[in-house]
Structure 1
């Protein structure tokens, strides 16, 4: 047992040395001192990033931690990490990279296991071949998204409040709970990955932006409500196709002011889209009054008089007005079923 423990310890030290660039040689007190940052500030940042707690005498840090802490101090001095946004931004970094690291580790472990590689070989490949490529690709993806976000802001989104008119849509897998019980773990993962991959492609192809996937649900936004409508219809049509493995879905679209913050979206428009999705029937898309008005060209305050329970619409879409729905937070929610002509 002792030999096994020693081997495990040696492997852990090797992992740290390879991934961090060198073996840990500093305590947290030494890192804060060398970086010129008060200990309480350093502790707050590490906690927000989700790093494991280290005691004062734990040798768990490297000179790279000193550089990172100095750079963080520089961002604070520049006003980028002010008191009102520091915690939220740093938490977002920590959560995002923690999830990414977890997924990448599992992926690399599966590849190594299939290849029958020894742990030492895995570490060597990881440090010498994989990490540099992943590092460069992550930087490239971040810069591309940064350019896109900057372009959207310059095109009209309020830089101060992050509020803009957006179409928000949730697409939810129908019968997910019952289906998940009948699938093995690997089958469930493959099924969900197919759903996320296909949904992401459809959203991007039609000019939308994925905000997040939440297990059996995807949330996306679009600047153009017609684009959101087309995406939702394509998703439900694909789910209704028995010859395709894409699951049956239902969707809800709302259009109106949306607050964008740290890659997520908030506000009544988002809430209404979620509520509509929860009451939509399988293979059906529901839209709120704002989306209905935008798609038909009618003034929103005339939407109630524009359609009865009979079908109505334009050359592009058909609408059927639903009875007012009572959902959490909205006692009498207006909605229309969206269909093709």
Structure 2
């Protein structure tokens, strides 16, 4: 099946996805929205939209309404100058990655489909027409569910409204030997391997009341309120990685507990840095924790399901002295 698209297909597809034919320039959009052109251009740049000249007819009526809504959020203080750029960039990057994945998936379905004699542009349009409304509705549902969950956390801890920091356990889980293993896998195998790691890790984190902050290829960063839950997750994952019959990769982990700054879905601060340094220092299949985790568990004495062993000082950039303990699950017989 030929993958060459007829002239004008890209424009037709853009109009189909936007729901409107582009008939406006960026100057006309800004004028109709009642927004200064420099603000409009700044917002579009931060969202990661392609650059357009003043005379390029590349916008539709929907862009006018979107720009009005953006200006309303600025006026309401939802997009204040000091955080506007970071928030809008986060939106842009998130949706750009999602759109890239979705269009790639649709294209792969067209190329793999049985209708070899049909124009691929027609196939893509038909498939998109069937899929897009469902994906759009599902995305809204997922967003609202996460919004409800975040709001519940906020109501459970009303004092967090006045705090810039939160006390959290922060954990990095890192695949051991990722570079070597990745060289022996083709593209599809590597994707499947990493997908399994991310999916299984995310499932375990969520089941323990945690939140995956981000995945970085061979590494997952997550947070959870309770350091005990973080230990449960880290030890469960390292145990799976040590099982030769389990396809889950060998991993190591570092856990720290303390004040964390949360911003735009990410986390920052010394506690996060400590968890990262501990992970780098951990041996394959092991879990290292900082004094924050150790002290939080110390009150339980021998009643804890773990054993802590002090390790030598961890050499960590940015820390003059990073105390660390290696943690193992206590045998069932004590």
Q: TM-score range, shorter-chain basis?
A: over 0.9
Please list the CA deviations of residues 91-124 of structure 1 after superposition, one character each: whole Å capped at 9, or x if unmatched.
1000000011111111111122111452212112
Within the candidate set 269, 272, 279, 2:271 is matched to 269
In the TM superposition, residue 142 of structure 1 has moved relative to its aligned partner by 0.7
Task: Report what 1:204 is aligned to.
Answer: 206
Indicate if the aligned counterparts of 1:325 and 1:331 stay in contact, CA closer than 8 A. no
**In the aligned structure 1, how far is the partner of 2:94 from the partner of 2:163?**
23
Indicate if the aligned counterparts of 2:174 and 2:218 stay in contact, CA closer than 8 A. yes
Task: Report what 1:67 is aligned to.
Answer: 65
Within the candidate set 88, 93, 96, 2:94 is matched to 96
Task: Report what 2:174 is aligned to.
Answer: 172
**Mapping for residues 111-150 of structure 1, pairs under 5 Å:** 111-117=109-115, 118-126=120-128, 128-150=129-151
Please list the CA deviations of residues 39-65 of structure 1 after superposition, one character each: whole Å capped at 9, or x if unmatched.
000000000000000011111100000
Indicate if the aligned counterparts of 1:37 and 1:70 stay in contact, CA closer than 8 A. yes
Equivalent residue pairs, number: 323
Within the candidate set 51, 54, 58, 2:52 is matched to 54
**In the aligned structure 1, how far is the partner of 2:325 from the partner of 2:244?**
26
Indicate if the aligned counterparts of 2:297 and 2:304 stay in contact, CA closer than 8 A. no
Listed as ranges, the gaps of 5+ residues in structure 2 are: none
In the TM superposition, residue 314 of structure 1 has moved relative to its aligned partner by 4.1
SS at match of 1:158: helix
Task: Report what 1:330 is aligned to.
Answer: 319
Task: Report what 2:305 is aligned to.
Answer: 316
Please list the CA deviations of residues 284-319 of structure 1 after superposition, one character each: whole Å capped at 9, or x if unmatched.
010000000111228xxxxxxxxxxxxx85441101
Indicate if the aligned counterparts of 2:106 and 2:127 stay in contact, CA closer than 8 A. no
Please list the CA deviations of residues 185-223 of structure 1 after superposition, one character each: whole Å capped at 9, or x if unmatched.
111111101111111111111111100000000000001
Indicate if the aligned counterparts of 2:241 and 2:249 stay in contact, CA closer than 8 A. yes
- Off by >6 Å, runs of 4+ in structure 1: none
Between 165-174 and 104-113, the greater mean CA deviation after superposition: 104-113
Within the candidate set 18, 22, 25, 2:23 is matched to 25
Task: Report what 1:306 is aligned to.
Answer: none
**In the aligned structure 1, how far is the partner of 2:279 from the partner of 2:108?**
36
**In the aligned structure 2, how far is the partner of 1:120 from the partner of 1:66?**
29
Task: Report what 1:105 is aligned to.
Answer: 103
**In the aligned structure 1, how far is the partner of 2:256 from the partner of 2:151?**
24
In the TM superposition, residue 160 of structure 1 has moved relative to its aligned partner by 4.1
Task: Report what 1:13 is aligned to.
Answer: 11
Task: Report what 1:308 is aligned to.
Answer: none
- State TM-score, norm by structure 2: 0.93
**In the aligned structure 1, how far is the partner of 2:239 from the partner of 2:208?**
15
Indicate if the aligned counterparts of 1:50 and 1:94 stay in contact, CA closer than 8 A. yes
Task: Report what 2:290 is aligned to.
Answer: 288
Task: Report what 1:85 is aligned to.
Answer: 83
SS at match of 2:110: helix
**In the aligned structure 1, how far is the partner of 2:304 from the partner of 2:18?**
60
**In the aligned structure 2, how far is the partner of 1:315 from the partner of 1:271?**
26
Task: Report what 1:76 is aligned to.
Answer: 74
Listed as ranges, the gaps of 5+ residues in structure 1 are: 299-311
Please list the CA deviations of residues 4-51 of structure 1 after superposition, one character each: whole Å capped at 9, or x if unmatched.
99x543110111111100121110001000000000000000000000
Indicate if the aligned counterparts of 2:278 and 2:289 stay in contact, CA closer than 8 A. yes
